[in-house]
Structure 1
């Protein structure tokens, strides 16, 4: 029987009772969640089934290719007299008393241009999971990072949480794309390095999987069926990862995951549901909003069944080469949510001396409001609405 490559999640420590600091001098006794290891394994069908029966195994999923959620449109930025981008203002970051101080954010994307003036004074911890150079050669990761914690550029505020002083930059996407293994490893790395928020804008390349299977000699129908099976397994994989990440929060290491829903919809012709990793339970899926004469509305490309929404059209942020660029996409909406999450995390840290991921996630999602939205939108399109800073 032929082997196939899998991503395997297994616990590696014995769960033991520990005391956790829950704030204001109180201690809570509970079970310390076992650490999780992410490994690649080449397995036959029988070996896979044996591994599934191992009590340490949390998830097994066929390794799937992943691709960047590409911006729908990009353009140069004209000079402006505005003091902040419309996205920063729309989420209320410009009037918030919080700025992201003492919060660590991880951006899993195409990397970053570390010497861009938008990141002056930020401790950038870079980790390259690709076979390319360490820095951003695409621009997407730099743009997303700029929206989260970028410093003002030529008098224009581009960053939602502009006093974040430590950022974990995981380069998970290169010219050759990525895989679910790379993303899972990067998520584990971000948690181990102390990230409070993980922001990512990539999705499973489902058509690519089907095409590969067809090229291997399968008919389209069975190829699609096998790809769907792998897809479901990867949804479970990211759900288990999210559960592991959230479990750390009870013990003072809270992390939430924010992910782009995807740009495959073409409203009003058709709407596509959110794809993994954003489809995983416990992952905050983000839709994109655009400005209009009667208020904000869902962007025609934005996938549905999201948790929250944020500005995702005409978003100005940092770009490779040292300047700014305007992009459209759910990838642009996601860092707005990650930035707002950093503000809520700072508030919680001041109140409780620790970050509880469940509380943080609840507060972030509950901050969503439909008030600025034009009539006619559906909850599936925007979730609770556009997130708001505390």
Structure 2
């Protein structure tokens, strides 16, 4: 009897979907009919719908456009969205019912319009402005680094003597704690070279993955870099070994997990971010570092249909990670602008031909400007805002060393680099130390402690980092400190009670 009832429920579900998708009509009444599929049924594999054809097999080399499709965050609505994708001639890459996002691609130009017209779909957005070869969505095998080497590997300062170490009080902090192996710090970036002698001991291969194409590729080594050492540099700042050579990380005792989102820095996409944040949430990460800008849009605006869908999809994934007690830390950007008064974007779309466009403060950088994210600004050796670092009354919440920072590079090398990308992992490392010392604290509690133990920095007067007699930005008081530094310089020693 149970088997017959299950088959009957499946038949009802198929009939409902066939009636709605087969006609291409928007049918709100389908909600009540679809609800006849029991909760138990929804947890089973969805039935095969033979009357709504799958996308035709895509020939190798075919150019396709990736999309995110957003619906209600549950199994039934996500399955429904998958059916809508297939009916419109798309191919499902991955589904995330936790956040109600389906990643798909298609060669059809009318795909988005068709899916938007389906009941239950909240938003649909293309995540590129230029199509990509379908092979982009295949698993990565035999991953090897072929990117640039280090231009200055032989000049690395002795361990613990680079300027960022004393600025954060690492010697004093490490006498109290190196960090705990219970804590996983996720590097969402271009991949991490886990064979580097400074990183191998901290690396957590079981919790590492490639999300490059919007699905969790667990192929061995898929998390490693191929074209860019950016993620390896970030990883070293967080957790390079305290072993007497090379550089030392802020929290060398924690575990490092690599979540590869891109081949090259600043080419992260909506689908890779959704995959990455859901992965972090599901695998017990304490903190994630996000030192990048997304493509194709450097700023995503609500009044643009594709950008609104991207913003919604990534926002849900970040919020899901935060609800699962993942602290999200991000770089504040290197345009040297006041984020509170920005009015133009000249760099988008970054995957095709950029064209100037007007924007306002509702158009945001992802993931940095999403709610609850720790936005990090960069300092130079004088503990003054680096000239390139963005600033804001609310979107920069802490500051950290970001100019000429020494760290690890693929192939066992080292190099110095500058950017808010280098500042953010300092904040991530300090947060990892706090989480290590207080294993029962929520991510929100860790964030409050990060802010409370930061060293306040006063506005420079005048601010002339280039020494040309012309001010490069105006520092103002803000609810949390000031617009240049937020709560102040993250402080590893204070964070673990060493001062």
TM-score, reference length from structure 2: 0.58
C-alpha separation in 2, matches of 1:9 and 1:100: 39
Moved more, 177-186 or 122-131: 122-131
Q: Which residue of 1 aligns with 2:70?
A: 8
Mapped partners of 2:260, 2:401: distance in 1 = 24
- Alpha-carbon separation, structure 1, partners of 2:184 and 2:298: 34
- Alignment of 1:359 with 2:449, yes or no, is no
Q: Look up the match of 2:211.
A: 129
Where structure 2 has 5 or more consecutive residues not aligned to the other structure, the ranges are 1-23, 25-64, 77-96, 106-110, 130-149, 214-220, 344-360, 464-474, 477-481
Q: Distance in 2 between matches of 1:365 and 1:84?
A: 25
Equivalent position of 1:64 in the other structure: 127
- In the alignment, what sits opposite 2:170? 93
Divergent runs of 4+, >6 A: 224-227, 270-274
Counterpart secondary structure, 2:376: strand
The reply to whether residue 109 of structure 1 matches residue 189 of structure 2 is yes
1:314 aligns with 2:404: yes
1:65·1:180 contact (CA, 8 Å) conserved in 2? Answer: no
Q: Secondary structure at the match of 1:169?
A: strand
1:48 correspondence with 2:102? no
CA distance in 2, matches of 1:356, 1:331: 25
Q: Distance in 2 between matches of 1:61 and 1:297?
A: 43
Counterpart contact for 1:85–1:156, Cα < 8 Å: no
C-alpha separation in 2, matches of 1:85 and 1:271:
34
Contact 1:202 1:260 in 2 (8 A): yes
Give the Cα–Cα distance (whole angstroms) in 2 for the partners of residues 124 and 264 of structure 1: 34
Rounded to whole Å, the distance in 1 between the matches of 2:210 and 2:320 is: 23
* Deviation (angstroms), 1:122: 1.9
CA distance in 2, matches of 1:271, 1:381: 15
Query: Which of 224-233 and 340-349 deviates more?
Result: 224-233
Residue aligning to 1:118: 198
- Tell me which of 330, 333, 341 is aligned to 2:420: 330
Aligned length: 329
Residue number in structure 1 paired with 2:29: none
1:365 and 1:9 map into 2 onto residues whose CA distance is 35
Q: 2:102 aligns with which of 39, 52, 58?
A: 39
1:330, CA displacement in angstroms? 0.7
User: Does the residue aligned with 2:187 lie in a helix, a strand or coil?
Assistant: strand
Q: Quick check: 1:85–1:158 contact (8 Å CA) kept in 2?
A: no
Within 5 Å, give how 1:1-390 maps onto structure 2. Answer: 5-8=67-70, 10-12=72-74, 35-41=98-104, 44-45=112-113, 47-48=115-116, 50=118, 60=123, 62-65=125-128, 76=152, 78-81=155-158, 83-96=160-173, 97-101=176-180, 102-125=182-205, 126-130=208-212, 134-137=223-226, 138-152=228-242, 155-164=245-254, 166-175=255-264, 177-206=267-296, 228-248=304-324, 254-265=325-336, 275-292=365-382, 296-305=383-392, 306-349=396-439, 354-371=440-457, 374-375=460-461, 377-378=475-476, 379-389=482-492, 390=495
- Per the TM alignment, residue 264 of structure 1 is displaced from its structure 2 partner at its CA by 2.2
**Could you list the runs of 5+ residues in structure 1 that have no partner in the other structure?**
15-33, 67-73, 210-223, 249-253
Shift in Å, 1:148? 0.3
SS of alignment partner, residue 119 of structure 1: coil
Flag the 1:81–1:105 CA change in 2: closer, same or farther, 3 A.
Answer: closer
* 3-state SS of paired residue (1:36): coil
Partner of residue 31, structure 2: none
**Higher strand proportion:** 1
TM-score (norm 1): 0.73
Whose RCO is larger (CA < 8 A, sep 6+)? 1
**Following TM superposition, by how much is the alpha carbon of 1:232 offset from its aligned partner in structure 2, in angstroms?**
4.5
Is the Cα–Cα contact under 8 Å of residues 38 and 185 in structure 1 kept in the other structure? no
Instruction: Find the residue that maps to 2:258 and give its secondary structure.
Output: strand
CA distance in 1, matches of 2:269, 2:190: 13
Q: Which residue of 2 aligns with 1:216?
A: none
Q: Secondary structure at the match of 1:339?
A: helix
Q: Is the contact made by 1:128 and 1:170 (CA closer than 8 Å) also made in structure 2?
A: yes
Q: What's the CA shift for 1:4?
A: 8.1
Aligned equivalents of 2:276 and 2:297: distance in 1?
24
Q: Distance in 1 between matches of 2:376 and 2:424?
A: 6
